[in-house]
Structure 1
Amino acid sequence: MKGLQFFEQELLLFAAFWFLLGAIDDIGVDLCWIWLKLAGRARDGRISREDAAAPLQGRAAILIAAWHEAEVIGHTVRHALSVWRQDDFTLYVGCYSNDPGTIAAAMSGAGADARVRIVIHENAGPTTKADCLNRLYTALCDDEGRYGHRFRSVVLHDSEDMVHPAELAVIDGALGEVDFVQLPVRPEPQPASPWVAGHYSDEFTESHAKSLVVRDALGAAIPAAGVACGFAREIIAGIARRRVAEGGPGPFAAECLTEDYELGVLVWREGGASRFLRVRDADNQLVATRAYFPARLEDAVRQKARWIHGIAFQSWDRLGWSRGLADWWMVLRDRRGPLTSIVLACGYVLIVVEGLLSIVRLSGVRAQPEISPWLQGMLLLCFASLVWRSIARFAFTAHEYGWPEGVRALMRIPVANFIAIMAGRKAFAGYMRTLRGAAVTWEKTSHDAHPILAAAGGTATR
């Protein structure tokens, strides 16, 4: 009994300290966002229907790496060609010769549209997403030499994306002033998976409506999400030259699990200007990429483990730390995933310990030690922080998806925590394997449904 009580006290102190430190971090971002709102600097921009369909200032290259995406790539290509009214872009779709289903679906989606180029990788798949993107970059460079034109921008997307009609116009306009621009990502609700898939809606909404807005205002590096992000051609060319000089094949780091995140940071490190933009169209809809995120627990854990491995572990090794205070703070937030999983696990272990102690106390044993005033104060602050975080999560999710989803966002908090714990453990195990010489592999997320089907009245189950 005494040993369990001592363990409870130590675990309480450890968890309370780190929960409180994380709360201070989050509240700091909240206060920055509130100040930006009050100062009128966090308002969404606007784009008219005419400007959304206007010709681009220069040609755009859109890169999509595809491996085993036969269920979705055709919908993505077909939808993009139908809503992007401009003619001055080329959509590059990277496929593999040993994946005929994806090739056939991409060709079906493209039809006879000359704006699409399907590129077959010379190596059998899967390699890595970055390797496939480097192959597309080579095709892009070959086309520039062949046709005598120079692309103005390079835009990244995934095989399952439902793009916004105004996206190219917004990115093209922004790249007149900056070198990299990231637009929001909007996970679409899936009735068949309100808990696992739904928790992405909560996290992305708060991140892309608050955290990245603050990051942009502070002038810190903006990480690329790999979708709805556009780069000036010259900054990509500069990064490619640097990679080639280091022995790499192109601008994307094939050995990195989060090559998109790293690319966004490298733009800032190279002296380029970056922006995160929230813009609404003539119908007041957010100019954002819509997509279905993993609906199964094991898929969500695998995806988030890849993010934690790439951002928290690999980026620490590969990018080090920034010298700027604001960027150092944001990088620290990016890399706290492993610690967060440990602290959350301790919190749930505490629930079990408290349950065991309650059972013992019911049997008549009363030897409970006193909790120090300092620890009581820390626990009180942690509880207040939890209430504040819950209010914020409800507010942001309800604003984007409606109040019923806001209520479900509160109920999804334990689900999100469990996924974070499991993903942190898996990411650490994967990182340790790479330290022992294991190769980095493309553990991609499988997709078997596309949000365009729901928009058209079709099935959206996964």
Structure 2
Amino acid sequence: MGRILYWTGFLVAASFLFFSLDDLFWDFYYYFWGRKRIRHRLRIEELDRVPRRLIAILIPAWNEAEVIGPMVENLLHSVNYPLALLHVFVGVYPNDIATVEEVQKLAERYPQIHAVVNPREGPTSKAQNLNQVFEFILRFEQERRLRFGCFIIHDAEDVIHPTSLKLANYLSLKYEVVQLPVFPLQVYPSWRTFFPYLTASTYADEFAENHYRGLPAREASGAVVPSAGAGFVIARSVLDALGTGKLFDEESLTEDYRLSLDFARFGIATHFFLEGVERVTEDGRVVVEYIATREIFPNTLREAVKQKSRWIYGISFQSFSLWQILCDRRFSRIAKYSLYRDWKAKYGNLLPLPGYAVFAYFVCSLFCSLSPVYPRGSFSWWLSAVLTVFMIERQLMRMVALKNVYGWRSAVAGCLIPPLLPLRTVWGNVINFLATLRAWRIALFGFPRSRPRWQKTRHSYLSPKALVRYRRRLGDLLLEKRIVDPKTLALTLRRKEEQERLGEKLLKEGFITETELLECLGELLQTGFLEPDPYTLRIEGNHSRFLAVFCRYAVVPIAWGRDSVLLATAKPLSQETMSSLAAELGVRKVAVVLAPSEAISQGLEVLKRKLPQQFPRLGERLLKMGIIEEEHLAEALRVQRFSHRPLGDILCEMGVLWPEDLREILREDGIQETQVG
């Protein structure tokens, strides 16, 4: 009996040690080499120095009627990106009436929302849904004469960071495929919430550890970076190179992981970016908030096992065979090693529970007359000692990740209750054990149906009150653009009167300029910001009667459309004011962009002189033809101020104008490409 116990303990300890060495390698690589390679790759303020291009967001949806509405509403009201340059495509099924009706209601209210009805009844696989959405987008581009700069895949329950679209737009100019972090939402840790939300908290522990340190280590080493499904950015150049919209393997349960693996085979690397922005909390503390996707994960054992078994089966069993990867010369050694690490999860996840049984016996042997499983001084005893050191190291690394992503409370709850063998870690291992058994059952005996279908978990969404804390405020944007420093902002917030506005306070005390304030407000209010050249303004003959209106409202016209006008103003205008302006100017739509008050004053003076038109203006021509929108022109003019490029070229880069259409218009109207004011 003693020898059986000894060899059982020895095998368990040796197995744990073998798998721990793998984790230890990535920890050491990241902290000693990886951080130096990925640090300071990006300055957040650089995001505003490139044209904001058309972005397509793809959302596959099956039985998502409860969450798709709040998700899209939050996206449109919180994102710091021109809404005219954003389109959301939701893949739905004809037999999912509730979700179809919800998306159609959104499409009626917002022109940026599009329902993509699948030709097949649901659920199919998530990959088939996404392929249909991609093919719809390619047809949409042809019909609308548009060209998206990048495509971002999200889930129907995602809370998308307001800065993520600007970041995706910038990164897709430099990289072909980008994965942004995913961090689960969790209830504020306390003794009251610890046990009720124990299952959901294990997701926070694992994602924080993997996306704070694991994926950055893979990125820095040149290993294969897997897609997480949400916050996955694909540049337009990828579709151009592959020549098809069918990117996903429709038989795969983890289509996101399989796609990143296929990209790697084609020589298309997936890059992972963990970028943080500073913000000052209401109590004056400066914290780092990561530009990441957040979502609520399952909080029941059954749903968690169902979801994780899909991940384990799709990655470890379905996506590749280890022998094929080892023989594939397209993968580097470090890439093969990283894929081996993913593959071995179907074995490694089965170890913890036998290990806990041996550990329980060991603890009992300390107090009862039982045969020792690890005799003091034996080889297995030394293995266990080393393994204990490794286990402590792993908990410290997880604690660092949790502290940086969620704060000290989460770090303590996840790693120190109780010490050495934390309950959340144990429960997470139990979930992974059961999920791996379920994955093995699928691998050995197959699915209940003839083919794998969408293995979906039930979703929920945050309340409007909870969503407020995930939206950017004026102070956050001032910090992001490095206009003020955290200390100044925190001091101003403490001294500000309750009814006093932060922008006015900072402006009055000389910490910011009017231009800097309006630039942030333009982004926050989604109106945009522009510094117009007053001497390029003019009123056409039939618009001269509106001069008094412009003076009364302190606005200047930037461009006239077919039944619209783009106005510049030094202060935000209410919806009532804009409606009054539209009625007095006799147009259907009034679009506004914020501009410095000095430019508005100078512009009004120039308009009073009634200067003659110097040359035909391309922007107005395109507006009157209905090819671009007022917001497109405002963004192109903003870019032109710092890039000094022809307006037509900028509009083509933004994706709202095709180059061949531009050349045809210039040829018809006799407009020189330099005459684009």
Structure-1 residue corresponding to 2:267: 271
User: Does residue 481 of structure 2 align to residue 450 of structure 1?
Assistant: no
Work out the CA distance in 2 between the residues paired with 1:239 and 1:21. 40
Structure-2 residue corresponding to 1:161: 158
Question: Greater CA deviation, 10-19 or 67-76?
Answer: 10-19
User: Does residue 71 of structure 2 align to residue 63 of structure 1?
Assistant: no
- For residues 69 and 44 of structure 1, do their structure 2 counterparts lie closer, same or farther at Cα, with a shift above 3 Å needed? farther
Amino acid in structure 2 at the alignment position of 1:209: Y
Contact 1:291/1:451, CA 8 A, preserved across alignment: no
Structure-2 residue corresponding to 1:325: 333
Structure-2 residue corresponding to 1:441: 453
Map 1:236-251 → 2, pairs under 5 A:
236=239, 238-239=241-242, 241=244, 250-251=246-247
Work out the CA distance in 2 between the residues paired with 1:55 and 1:104. 35
Map 1:141-160 → 2, pairs under 5 A:
141-160=138-157
Structure-1 residue corresponding to 2:203: 200
Structure-2 residue corresponding to 1:213: 216
Q: Deviations over 1:197-255 (max 9, x none)?
A: 111111111111111111111112211111111112232454564xxxxxxx8211110
Q: 2:315 aligns with which of 311, 319, 328?
A: 311
Work out the CA distance in 2 between the residues paired with 1:173 and 1:308. 33
- For residues 293 and 240 of structure 1, do their structure 2 counterparts lie closer, same or farther at Cα, with a shift above 3 Å needed? farther
Structure-2 residue corresponding to 1:401: 406
Structure-1 residue corresponding to 2:478: none
Q: Deviations over 1:425-458 (max 9, x none)?
A: 011111223399941121111113336552249x
SS of 1:313's equivalent in the other structure is: helix
Structure-2 residue corresponding to 1:414: 426
Structure-1 residue corresponding to 2:643: none
Structure-1 residue corresponding to 2:120: 123
SS of 1:176's equivalent in the other structure is: coil
Work out the CA distance in 2 between the residues paired with 1:446 and 1:371. 50
The structure showing larger relative contact order (alpha-carbon pairs under 8 Å, at least 6 residues apart) is: 1
Work out the CA distance in 1 between the residues paired with 2:37 and 2:132. 43
State the 1:318 CA deviation: 9.7
Amino acid in structure 2 at the alignment position of 1:288: A
Amino acid in structure 2 at the alignment position of 1:207: N
Structure-2 residue corresponding to 1:260: 256
Contact 1:80/1:162, CA 8 A, preserved across alignment: yes
Structure-1 residue corresponding to 2:299: 295
Work out the CA distance in 1 between the residues paired with 2:294 and 2:336. 30
Cα RMSD, aligned residues only = 2.8
Contact 1:45/1:278, CA 8 A, preserved across alignment: no
- For residues 83 and 435 of structure 1, do their structure 2 counterparts lie closer, same or farther at Cα, with a shift above 3 Å needed? closer
Work out the CA distance in 2 between the residues paired with 1:33 and 1:451. 37
Work out the CA distance in 2 between the residues paired with 1:160 and 1:437. 27
- For residues 47 and 448 of structure 1, do their structure 2 counterparts lie closer, same or farther at Cα, with a shift above 3 Å needed? same
Amino acid in structure 1 at the alignment position of 2:351: V
Work out the CA distance in 1 between the residues paired with 2:268 and 2:463. 34
Amino acid in structure 2 at the alignment position of 1:105: E
TM-score of the superposed pair, with normalisation by structure 2: 0.61
| Residue-pair matches, total | 443
TM-score of the superposed pair, with normalisation by structure 1: 0.88
Work out the CA distance in 2 between the residues paired with 1:344 and 1:97. 44
Map 1:36-47 → 2, pairs under 5 A:
36=33, 39=36, 41-42=38-39, 45-47=42-44
Map 1:226-245 → 2, pairs under 5 A:
226-236=229-239, 238-239=241-242, 241=244
State the 1:282 CA deviation: 5.5
Work out the CA distance in 1 between the residues paired with 2:440 and 2:318. 11
SS of 1:294's equivalent in the other structure is: coil
Work out the CA distance in 1 between the residues paired with 2:36 and 2:51. 34
Work out the CA distance in 2 between the residues paired with 1:46 and 1:27. 31
Structure-2 residue corresponding to 1:244: none
Contact 2:178/2:233, CA 8 A, preserved across alignment: yes
Work out the CA distance in 2 between the residues paired with 1:366 and 1:47. 61
State the 1:176 CA deviation: 1.5
Work out the CA distance in 1 between the residues paired with 2:217 and 2:131. 32
Q: Deviations over 1:343-394 (max 9, x none)?
A: 11221232455477679x54xx769895673212211111111111111111
Structure-2 residue corresponding to 1:114: 111
Structure-2 residue corresponding to 1:460: none
State the 1:336 CA deviation: 2.1
Q: 1:225 aligns with which of 225, 228, 242?
A: 228
Work out the CA distance in 2 between the residues paired with 1:370 and 1:401. 41
Amino acid in structure 1 at the alignment position of 2:68: I
Contact 1:52/1:166, CA 8 A, preserved across alignment: no
Work out the CA distance in 1 between the residues paired with 2:172 and 2:323. 25
Amino acid in structure 2 at the alignment position of 1:276: F
- For residues 366 and 420 of structure 1, do their structure 2 counterparts lie closer, same or farther at Cα, with a shift above 3 Å needed? closer
Work out the CA distance in 2 between the residues paired with 1:407 and 1:282. 23
For structure 2, list consecutive stretches of 5 or more residues without a partner in the other structure: 280-287, 416-421, 470-677
Of the two, which has the highest radius of gyration?
A: 2
- For residues 122 and 37 of structure 1, do their structure 2 counterparts lie closer, same or farther at Cα, with a shift above 3 Å needed? closer
- For residues 448 and 25 of structure 1, do their structure 2 counterparts lie closer, same or farther at Cα, with a shift above 3 Å needed? same
Amino-acid identity (%): 28
Q: 2:391 aligns with which of 375, 386, 394?
A: 386
State the 1:154 CA deviation: 1.5
Amino acid in structure 2 at the alignment position of 1:343: L
State the 1:45 CA deviation: 4.2
Q: Deviations over 1:384-413 (max 9, x none)?
A: 111111111112112221212111112311
SS of 1:177's equivalent in the other structure is: coil
Work out the CA distance in 2 between the residues paired with 1:349 and 1:54. 58
Structure-2 residue corresponding to 1:138: 135
Work out the CA distance in 2 between the residues paired with 1:40 and 1:143. 40
For structure 1, list consecutive stretches of 5 or more residues without a partner in the other structure: 242-248, 458-462
Work out the CA distance in 2 between the residues paired with 1:11 and 1:367. 12
